[in-house]
Amino acid sequence: MAEPQLPFAITLGPGSSRSDLTGSWRTERATYVTRQAPCGNACPAGEAVRDWLYDAEEGDAGYERAWRRIVETNPFPAVMGRVCYHPCETSCNRGQLDESVGINSVERFLGDRAIELGWSLPAVAAPTGRRVLVVGAGPAGLSAAYHLVRLGHDVTVREAESRPGGMMRWGIPRYRLPRSVLDAEVQRILDLGVRLELGVRVDDLAGTMAAEHFDAVLVAIGAQVGRRAYIPAGSAAHVLDAVTVLHGIEAGERPLLGRRVAVYGGGNTAIDAARTARRLGAADALVVYRRTRERMPAHESEVQEAEEEGVRFRWLSTIGEVEESSIVVEQMELDETGFPQPTGRTEVLAADSVVLALGQESDLSLLTGIEQVDLARGVVHTSPTMMTGQPGIFAAGDVTPGDRSVTVAIGHGRVAAERIDVWLAGLAPAPEPPRELAAFDMLNTWYYEDAPRAHRPRLELVRRQSTFEEVVEGLDVDNALYEARRCMSCGTCLSCDNCVAVCPDNAVVSLGMPGSYAIDLDYCKGCGICVAECPCGAIEMVPEEI
């Protein structure tokens, strides 16, 4: 190569070092990666939480993009933003820094905005000609119907009740989930062309399938039968079950609970029943639970809200007898395995009624006669593909074993729809590629601004004790944007340009679009500074083959 002609007294050409490919020194190379964020990993509904927060961080047009990303998996953002127990926040890496990101409140903000601005769900695919019956219009059934109709299937949902929503309507009180929100999100699904038949109970599934030629069925009938326990009770004793009480209120009844109400149980339904009793005018609502507060299955936030509203708790106690205006409670002790054991010490407490909240069971009579479906222990067992032992019959939601929540049910519905679609096509489900979790120690949290969490305001206490108005209020636009921007984008590039800046060898090249960078391997010496200084853990060092 001819030497370039340099001006007088210039001995070395500018940038002539580039002929020295110092990348040959390298034993490890920097590589961009996308890791699984803990929020999305923990989401029972399978939302790509970090990805939609990324869109929401931009505000304005970003909000709709964020909402569209949510409804790729979950058609109920406004419901979920109210009733989900947000395992995403429990697992959020920011919780180890200051406080977890208020993901649930941002989701609610997006869900409410979608209803307010009338955003519609994505269009459905071309018809496949396959007919699917969904039994039950609860969160699992409606979620499945949504995904099935989007995939082009002809979907019929049969619901025994007079209105859709399942436990979202008949189990969760209005102060936690206003019905206008539920109705709006259900209607959006129906608008896609899902056929909903209300007040139709499916009693004989085998017969229905045969008579109406459904290609596949999803059993999503939930669990709405209150579990009873034998408690000696006098003839005048007033014992009800929580599911019936909550259902009755939604149907417009006002159950006669009296002034002093004892609720027996420690789950979220027990809390709902006690808080509802307060709103119905009970001066005293007492939750009796046989274990300790720490071991209570109800969520801490609900226990706190109940306490604020004047609900009292009696831990380590069982109800032994019920009389007309009193109950006998027995003090319990935890043994070394954590199981409550009776002590024989009893006490008589005043109570006009007892509401049992001891768990719920499913009415599985529609599956009788279908031998291949395993109904052991009162639940429908499925394979990981969500199909029962009988080909073509799938099950999802509370009717299957495992955690019972709206979020789990919505996730079940989506997975079941995907599996039904694959099964109808005669294919095997594609295995999920494993992805490495973006752990806290992969982040460089120095770069994140100090930003305490924005908390949602709550309704004033007086109104919470007497009305069914919604307790937890939403975030406004400013707070929602702030909260979204607290996301640390664990495991995904947030396009901060740090890698471009910190390379001593100029070996990181910005390709122009946000978040698109490349390593120039001609010059990358493999020092690893870009990895160490990447805020979100989206670069890793990979050994070179030598």
Partner 1 sequence: MTTTDLKLYQIGTFAAGNRLLDPDERSVQADPGRANAITSGHRACQGCGEALGARFVLDAAIRAAEGNIVTANATGCLEVFSTPYPESAWQLAWVHSLFGNVAAVASGIAAALKAQGREHIRVVAQAGDGGTVDIGLGCLSGMFERNDDVLFVCYDNQGYMNTGVQRSGATPPAARTATTKPVGVEPGNVFGQGKDLPRIAMAHEIPYVATATVADLRDLERKVEKAMSVHGARYLHVLVPCPLGWASASKDTIRLARLATQSGLFPVFEAEHGVVTATTPIRQRVPVEDYLTLQGRFAHLFGEPGRPDVVARIQAGADRNIVRYGLAAENEVVPHG
Contacts to partner 1 by CB under 8 A? 12-22, 25, 57-58, 446-449, 451-454, 478-479, 481-482, 485-489, 494-498, 500-507, 510, 512, 514-515, 520, 522-523, 525-529, 531-533, 535
Question: How far apart (Å, rounded) are the C-alpha atoms in residues 273 and 288?
Answer: 12
Nearer to partner 1, 404 or 486 (CB): 486
Compute φ and ψ for 331, nearest 5 degrees: -70, 135
Token match 């769900």: residue?
121
Nearer to partner 1, 1 or 430 (CB): 1
Nearer to partner 1, 319 or 531 (CB): 531
Nearer to partner 1, 135 or 536 (CB): 536
Closest CA to 498 of 521, 520, 512, 515: 515
Nearest distance, CB of residue 300 and partner 1, angstroms: 22
Nearer to partner 1, 389 or 515 (CB): 515
Tokens at 52, concatenated:
């939609």
Nearer to partner 1, 276 or 498 (CB): 498
Nearer to partner 1, 7 or 384 (CB): 7
For 72, other C-beta atoms within 10 Å of its C-beta total 17
DSSP output for 371-418: TTS--GGGS----TTSB-SSTTEEE-GGGSSS--SHHHHHHHHHHHHH
Nearest distance, CB of residue 525 and partner 1, angstroms: 5
Nearest distance, CB of residue 41 and partner 1, angstroms: 21
For 95, other C-beta atoms within 10 Å of its C-beta total 15
DSSP 3-state assignment of 326? strand
Nearer to partner 1, 468 or 523 (CB): 523
In order of 98, 331, 496, the CA distances from 451 in angstroms are 8, 46, 18
Nearest distance, CB of residue 437 and partner 1, angstroms: 21
Closest CA to 454 of 486, 494, 483: 483
Nearest distance, CB of residue 419 and partner 1, angstroms: 37
Q: In degrees to the nearest 10, what's the CA dihedral of 223, 224, 228, 233?
A: 170
Helix, strand, coil abundance in the chain, percent, nearest 5: 35, 15, 50
Q: Are 326 and 351 in contact (CB under 8 A)?
A: yes
Nearest distance, CB of residue 305 and partner 1, angstroms: 21
Alpha-carbon Rg for the chain, nearest whole angstrom, is 28
Nearest distance, CB of residue 307 and partner 1, angstroms: 24
Question: How far apart (Å, rounded) are the C-alpha atoms in residues 316 and 292?
Answer: 6
Nearer to partner 1, 110 or 303 (CB): 110
Nearer to partner 1, 401 or 504 (CB): 504
Nearer to partner 1, 99 or 323 (CB): 99
Pairing type for strands 508-510 and 517-519 reads antiparallel
H helices of 118-241, in order, are 139-150, 167-170, 179-190, 205-212
Three-state SS annotation for 327-338: EEEEEEEECCCC
Nearer to partner 1, 15 or 431 (CB): 15
Token match 């994505």: residue?
122
Please give the angle made by the CA atoms of 489, 492 and 498, to the nearest 5 degrees.
85
Nearest distance, CB of residue 43 and partner 1, angstroms: 21
Question: How far apart (Å, rounded) are the C-alpha atoms in residues 232 and 320?
Answer: 7
Nearer to partner 1, 13 or 369 (CB): 13
Question: How far apart (Å, rounded) are the C-alpha atoms in residues 35 and 440?
Answer: 12
Which of 343-369 are b and which e, b meaning 16 or more Cβ less than 10 Å from the residue's Cβ?
Answer: eeeeeebebbbbbbbbbbbbebebbee
For 18, other C-beta atoms within 10 Å of its C-beta total 12
Question: How far apart (Å, rounded) are the C-alpha atoms in residues 416 and 396?
Answer: 7
Closest CA to 394 of 369, 414, 376, 378: 414
